[in-house]
Structure 1
Amino acid sequence: MNTTHFWLVRHGETLWNAERRLQGWLDIPLNETGRKQAAQLARFLASDAFTADIHAVYSSDLSRAYDTAQIAARSLGLPIFREPGLRERSYGIYQGEDWSSLSMASGGKALVDFRDPEQPIEGGESYLAFSQRAGRAFEEIAGRHPGQNVLVFTHGGVIDIAWRRSIGAALDVQRPFPILNVSINRCGIRGPGDWFIQDWGYTGHLENEALDDVW
């Protein structure tokens, strides 16, 4: 069977992660902690503890993911393909805002429900549109690399979609765990719509776990 196996890595920490601000398509660079995390991952990927034979490396075209890939995947000696389809969700007019201020406005009611699949986001993507775009990107990559192992550097929101597709979770199902910076998450694609989950949330290569996922 020509299953494509994916190693999905969330980018290293940024200042806006630490400040819990929505990044979306804004090109926020890694901070010092994020670059350290990427270096820790680099040591793991170059060590005997990492036994997978990686055939291709892909990254979101946003710098926080691409720079993580450049630091972490250097020992693999492979080109890094930038894939715009692996970008984080666009939050439109809400990008740069504090996550908590949007989640709970006056009276305890959310100003905007980013989890509602159908809710339009001015200047951005609905959750459903984002899910479709991210899923399509993974299946296109799988089509280019049947039977191969692919390392992907991307964002918390994109990895969330891969998790949902791999276990069949609807968009309105609450994910019971965070997706941490520079965590390694594994899934596979056998064909269109045929996804499955493998290992998830590995952070053994980090000295300290990173912040929760503010996308």
Structure 2
Amino acid sequence: MRLLLVRHGETVWNAERRLQGDRDIPLSATGRAQASALAPVVAAHAPACVVTSPLARTRETAELLGFPGERHDARWQEADLGDWTGLRTAVLRERGGAYAAWRAGRFTPPGGEPFAALTERVAAGVADLRADPGGGVVLVVTHGGPIRAVLRHLLGLEPARIVPVGPASLTVLDLGVDGARLHGYNIRAGAEAVQPVGRS
């Protein structure tokens, strides 16, 4: 199975450098343009199944990618960031090392969801997709946190070892009986895309 993971386009809060977690913040005009620009990159892989987080920013991104009417799965929703929801990253950086530790998956904001719990629910979502006898190419439109969790779960990559997941970016993994292989990360519109399945 080829797993395509797309992070939603930029939101209003992304542009303001505010943490949103599972708050339902809409795409900005830039985010809508980013998602539209990524559409041909994703379409080249011809996904047979499309799943999104239930939040509006992922559902709108999927529509702009050309896949309306997708299936929603709350396991692909972004983590709850508790007391940090709505705070600007500059403010959090001024408070010491907690922000860097959170980015590395080693700290949970007060009242928030631990990275281990996020990884567990995303892993269950991946397992269900792999159990589908249809297999093939699956597109999941989700958030930065779940994508980092997938990389940890399938490849053992800790969040501290990867650069942030960019808005409207594509990550491509092939899942086989011998494990998972990463084919592309943070692929943006205009960049050289990973070759779709069956093409040289």
Whether 1:6 and 2:3 are equivalent positions in the alignment is yes
2:22 counterpart (25, 36, 41): 25
Instruction: For residue 169 of structure 1, report the CA deviation from its aligned partner.
Output: 2.0
- Of 150, 164, 168 in structure 2, the residue corresponding to residue 182 of structure 1 is 168
Shift of the 100–145 alpha-carbon distance from structure 1 to 2, 3 Å rule, reads farther
Q: Which residue of 2 aligns with 1:210?
A: none
CA shift digits 1:69-109 (9 cap, x unpaired): 012124xxx7400110000111112111112222331xx44
Is 2:150 the counterpart of 1:153? no
Q: Which amino acid in the other structure matches residue 58 of structure 2?
A: A
Structure 1 segments (4+ residues) deviating >3 Å: 43-46, 108-113, 115-122
**How many angstroms does 1:128 deviate by?**
1.2
Structure 2 residues not aligned, in runs of 5+: 192-200
Q: Matches of residues 27-176 of structure 1 in structure 2 within 5 Å?
A: 27-45=24-42, 50=44, 52-74=45-67, 79-105=69-95, 108-110=96-98, 113-115=101-103, 117=105, 119-144=107-132, 147-170=135-158, 173-175=160-162
Match for residue 196 of structure 1 among 181, 184, 187 = 181
Distance 1:86 1:72 in 2: 18
C-alpha distance 35-132 of structure 1, shift in aligned 2 (>3 A): same
Contact kept, 8 Å, 1:58 with 1:82, in 2: the verdict is yes
SS in 1 for 2:171: strand
Question: 1:6–1:31: structure 2 CA closer, same or farther, 3 Å change rule?
Answer: same
Deviation readout 1:34-91 (Å, 9 max, x if unpaired): 1111221234445xxx2x23210111111111110012124xxx74001100001111
Following the alignment from structure 2 to structure 1, what is the Cα–Cα distance between the partners of residues 51 and 157? 25
Alpha-carbon offset, residue 142 of structure 1: 2.0
- Structure 1 stretches of 5 or more lacking a match? 207-215
Distance 1:197 1:104, change over 3 A: same
Pair 111,10 (structure 1): closer, same or farther in 2 beyond 3 Å: closer
Is 1:16–2:10 an aligned residue pair?
no
Contact 1:115–1:127 (8 Å) recurs in 2? no
| Distance change >3 Å, CA 120–CA 43, structure 1 → 2 | closer
Match of 1:42, SS state, is helix
| CA RMSD after TM alignment | 2.5
Mapped to 1, the partners of 2:103 and 2:166 lie a distance apart of 19
Quote the Cα distance in structure 2 between the aligned partners of 1:110 and 1:147.
40
TM-score, normalising length from structure 1? 0.78
Equivalent residue number for residue 211 of structure 1? none
Retained in 1: the 8 A contact 2:49–2:139? yes
Task: Count matched residues.
Answer: 191
Structure 2 counterpart of 1:17, which letter? Answer: N
